Amino acid sequence: MVQDQSRYIYSALHEINVHLILGSILASLVVLAFMRSWRSTVIAAVAIPASVISTFGMMWVLHFTLNSVTMLALVLMVGIVIDDAIVVLENIFRFVKRRGCLRSRLRGPPPPTSGWP
């Protein structure tokens, strides 16, 4: 008995594409909600398509086929990319905050004002 699985495969790949896009948008919104910074959100939102495009490029160079397993791996990859981006951004914020505190300590207290403009 022969069955046509092409419709099932097409719909599965379509749903994976939808989840890939929806996951990218939701991950960017989560970064915005927790980091409260548009700059961090833009960095995370740019990191996702850049990594997906470079992944497709490497798949093309290495002659990998695009099937449901590779598409599911791409969906998981979005989570890993966002996780790494959040860790890097948190470390950058921590470094900048600590560096700002060190600068103020090194400068000492501000000079007293005499009251004249």
Q: Is residue 97 very low, low, confident or very high in pLDDT (cuts 50, 70, 90)?
A: confident
Q: 92-96: which pairs have CB atoms within 8 A and are 24 or more residues apart?
A: 93/35
Quick: pLDDT tens for 33-65.
887 878 878 887 888 888 888 888 888 899 888
Q: Which residue has the tokens 């700059």?
A: 39
| Amino acid at site 116 | W
